[in-house]
Structure 1
Amino acid sequence: MPLFGRKKSPETTLPRERWEPLPPPPEPGPDGLRSMDDHRDYLLSCLTELPAFNQQILDALDLSICEDVYSSIDMPRFDNSAMDGYAVRAVDVADASPEHPVSLPVVGEVAAGQDALHRLSPGTAIKIMTGAPLPPAADAIVPYENTDRGTDDVLVHEPSVVSQHVRYVGEDIRSGAQLFAAGDLLGPRAIGLLAAVGRDKVLVRPRPRVAVVSTGSELVEPGHELGGPHQIYDSNSAMLAAAAKAAGAQVFRVGLVSDDPSEVLQVIADQLVRADLILTTGGVSQGDYDVVKAALPELGATDFASVAMQPGKPQGFGLIGDDRTPMIMLPGNPVSAFVSFEAFVRPAIRKLMGVTPYTRPVVRCRATHDFGSARGRRQLARGIVSLDADGGRLVELTGGHGSHLLGGLARANAIVVLGEDVTAVSAGEDVEVWLLEEVYG
């Protein structure tokens, strides 16, 4: 379905000399490094939530609603049976017991979706199905299991009381009641409630369209043969595309771009027409071939910073093209790229969707062993969280410190966050953790 109004023009943006500058970036610390929190807050301050529009309720799953929603109907709409059984007057079966069952003539039957045509006469029963309307004068339901399931006459073995197994009009939701407020997140149960009150569309912010690009002449597409001894398969774009999709985005994995500046500029420019956010990996450090850092200022206003975090020190951000499309430029090492995604890109995607909180909640876990950290840097270590016998959370590090060690990252289910002043953690100490997955016993 086309998303109208999300781009001003389908024309490819070409390089030009001057662009409207970015807002002033935060000042670095005495060591010349920008704090991780300052960098994240700066990126988020440069982003604006996407405009809302009406979407089908299934497409609105996990999105932020942008309107207050009120019920136009009562739920239930009419008094009805909560069980398969017999509609009766409670007074007629008050003395029923297994030893002395009460016999009632069955004078009719009503199924779900039918009208209850007959008024219940004293001393009679009407067979009724779950969800069927309660016949006039009936005030209780005797479930099948408390009867002999008779068709002409029914023997009732247990007493019933007034209102037993009856659902009354409006007992769940009254017409006019508020169901959702603007800002609420729509999960599966919320989608069910919208459908139950007859809503097929709802006003929500759309999923951001994220274009993911890997740069590097050494990269080869998975599924193809490696062409030389120094080539490697591109894992970053697949990993980051999957992470963006898991965060709620609509993702376009663009593929590989060489270290040719003109090719990088053309590929990025081509994405501006369809992307709400462009995500690149590689080419933002201090090397001679860090082409993204060198070339991107031609397409828009950019900010490159050294962030006080490990891994993930080199970071880039820009507002690209005439529409000032946000672009986040991540390091090329796989662990650095993923950790940077969690620190900066996931919050950016959530802000574009208008979903809060932007960051993952911090939980406390008990370290299972000693480990160290570099002073002055926010350490983001890969961890495995498990539960002890009492349900408490434990965490151990996995994968070592190398930012290229993808095997340890794949095994991790959490990121252990150690502050700039932390140099050592002892077994048994509590540490802060971002859970990447639910942990079960």
Structure 2
Amino acid sequence: MPNTATRARSVDSYRATVDALVTDLPIERLPVGDCLGLVLAEDVTAPIALPPFDNSAMDGYAVRSVDVVGASEEAPVELPVSEDIPAGRTDVVPLLPGTAHRIMTGAPVPPGADTVVQVELTDSGVDKVRIFAPVSLGAHLRRTGEDVREGTTVLDKGTVLGPPQLGFLAALGLSDLPVRRRPRVLILSTGTELVEPGQPLAPGQIYESNSVHIAAAVREIGGVARVLRSVPDDVDALYRTLQPHLKDHDLLITTGGVSAGAYEVVKDALAGEGVEFLKVAVQPGGPQGYGTYMGLPVVTLPGNPVSAALSFELFVRPALLRAMGRPDVDRPVVRAKASSAMTSPAGKRQYRRGFYDAGSGRAVPVGGPGSHLLAAFAKSNCLIEIPEDVTEVPEGGDVRLLVIAP
């Protein structure tokens, strides 16, 4: 019988552990233009009505509908134009019976007018206007509060702020909003073999890519990422690199140095310092770690690029989204038919990279299960999930997919 103390943690259990580690982010007020992708921390009430005044929906002429009842092509109604009302005019003069005011779209409708005749039904006159068709009462008027009434709740707490929401709130005159602030994530990649892209490679070296992927993933969900790149496999160097940045961030993510080898710098540095290292029953990405270091929450990811990317996807991404107040922490899930047979190790939840064709309802595995197959990940739009108790998926078998790209 295996020792339960060393048994690998389940995916779901470890996800809950990381989620508990990342605490809710504080609320702050930010300029409305800086809130894209953030989450409202409070309900928003309209401080004004929209529209805030009766205004014209057309370029044309403000009139009383009774004055144009009999207008036709054969017998146009002619009215004197006593005022010009462009958008933005504030000193609007009341409309007298038997007259018209030339008016532009968005301009305030003068008192006394109950209708706007669109310019296409007129001769576009300036001093006098000839109107060639009757217009019904209230035509082309935007009434005060027609869209939003002052004092009503317009967006609820928990709303994710996209361009439509931000434009709407700006139209209400709101200059700043209460939101959960962006997570500030420190990303530390480790490995003496790593070289920054653009530099020449010596034998035995590889280009560092984990920090690029993880930082982009943090920014994609609205976070702020700071990268400390390619720290060598030296414990003192790791400490020196980290120290200046520990108080400025909400989470530290490391990549590499967490397995069972002889040069596992993250494990050597942080074990016994508040970080626990363990195995998770997942493929790829088994070696993991979590905890706090000098008060800063830490999640340590494996170094193989696909393992690091998948670990962020499964464990860190949902925790950060939840801390931001997002209601949509999980990727969309669909069911599909496997286009080819697949195998998976017993007792581990395997995630295969794949391409989901919604038209055919089929999931095509891309590449193999190896944790180094980056090209396969780059060409995938889904992760094919094979449960712990399944070792073989036949061609045409039903599979569960996490959709990670359009």
Cα offset, 1:30, TM superposition: 9.3
- Write out aligned runs for 1:134-149 (5 A): 134-149=109-124
SS in 1 for 2:401: strand
Cα distance in 2 for residues equivalent to 1:318 and 1:359: 23
Partner of 2:298: 327
**Of residues 279, 294, 299 in structure 1, which corresponds to 2:268?**
294
Cα distance in 2 for residues equivalent to 1:430 and 1:161: 60
The reply on whether 1:246 has 2:249 as its aligned counterpart is: no
Residue by residue over 1:271-291, the C-alpha shift from the partner in whole angstroms, topping out at 9 and shown as x without a partner, is 212221111110111111112
- Write out aligned runs for 1:358-437 (5 A): 358-388=329-359, 393-437=361-405
Cα distance in 1 for residues equivalent to 2:136 and 2:4: 74
Cα offset, 1:361, TM superposition: 2.9
- Write out aligned runs for 1:4-403 (5 A): 32-115=7-90, 117-226=92-201, 228-298=202-272, 300-321=273-294, 324-388=295-359, 393-403=361-371
Residues 273 and 305 (structure 1), Cα distance of their counterparts in 2 relative to 1, 3 Å cut:
same
Cα distance in 2 for residues equivalent to 1:180 and 1:285: 47
Q: Is the 8 A contact 1:29 1:35 kept in 2?
A: no
Cα distance in 1 for residues equivalent to 2:314 and 2:369: 18
RMSD: 2.0
SS in 1 for 2:389: coil
Residues 318 and 148 (structure 1), Cα distance of their counterparts in 2 relative to 1, 3 Å cut:
same
- Percent of paired sites with the same residue: 45
Q: Give structure 2 stretches of 5+ with no counterpart.
A: none
Partner of 1:25: none
Q: Is the 8 A contact 1:265 1:296 kept in 2?
A: no
Residue by residue over 1:378-410, the C-alpha shift from the partner in whole angstroms, topping out at 9 and shown as x without a partner, is 11111122332xxx6542111222110111111
Cα distance in 1 for residues equivalent to 2:80 and 2:88: 24
Matching residue's letter, 2:277: F
Residue by residue over 1:190-242, the C-alpha shift from the partner in whole angstroms, topping out at 9 and shown as x without a partner, is 1112211221111212111111111111111111111x211111111111111
SS in 2 for 1:272: helix
SS in 2 for 1:303: strand
Cα distance in 2 for residues equivalent to 1:210 and 1:395: 33
Q: Is the 8 A contact 1:48 1:352 kept in 2?
A: yes
Q: Is the 8 A contact 1:110 1:116 kept in 2?
A: no
Cα distance in 2 for residues equivalent to 1:29 and 1:195: 57
Residue by residue over 1:323-358, the C-alpha shift from the partner in whole angstroms, topping out at 9 and shown as x without a partner, is x21111111111111110100111122133222233
Matching residue's letter, 1:212: I
Residues 215 and 47 (structure 1), Cα distance of their counterparts in 2 relative to 1, 3 Å cut:
same
Residues 184 and 268 (structure 1), Cα distance of their counterparts in 2 relative to 1, 3 Å cut:
same
Cα distance in 2 for residues equivalent to 1:159 and 1:369: 68
Q: Is the 8 A contact 1:116 1:133 kept in 2?
A: no
Matching residue's letter, 2:324: M
Cα offset, 1:367, TM superposition: 3.2
Residues 208 and 146 (structure 1), Cα distance of their counterparts in 2 relative to 1, 3 Å cut:
same
Cα distance in 2 for residues equivalent to 1:117 and 1:53: 41
Matching residue's letter, 2:223: A
Residues 150 and 160 (structure 1), Cα distance of their counterparts in 2 relative to 1, 3 Å cut:
same
Residue by residue over 1:25-60, the C-alpha shift from the partner in whole angstroms, topping out at 9 and shown as x without a partner, is xxx979812110100101112221121111111222
SS in 1 for 2:62: strand
Cα offset, 1:251, TM superposition: 0.6
Matching residue's letter, 1:62: G
Cα distance in 2 for residues equivalent to 1:359 and 1:142: 52
Q: Give structure 1 stretches of 5+ with no counterpart.
A: 1-27
Cα distance in 2 for residues equivalent to 1:304 and 1:41: 16
Residues 310 and 325 (structure 1), Cα distance of their counterparts in 2 relative to 1, 3 Å cut:
same
Q: TM-score, normalised by structure 2?
A: 0.94
SS in 2 for 1:315: strand
Cα offset, 1:108, TM superposition: 1.7
SS in 2 for 1:43: helix
Q: Is the 8 A contact 2:85 2:102 kept in 1?
A: yes
Aligned residues: 404
Matching residue's letter, 1:142: V
Residues 90 and 30 (structure 1), Cα distance of their counterparts in 2 relative to 1, 3 Å cut:
farther
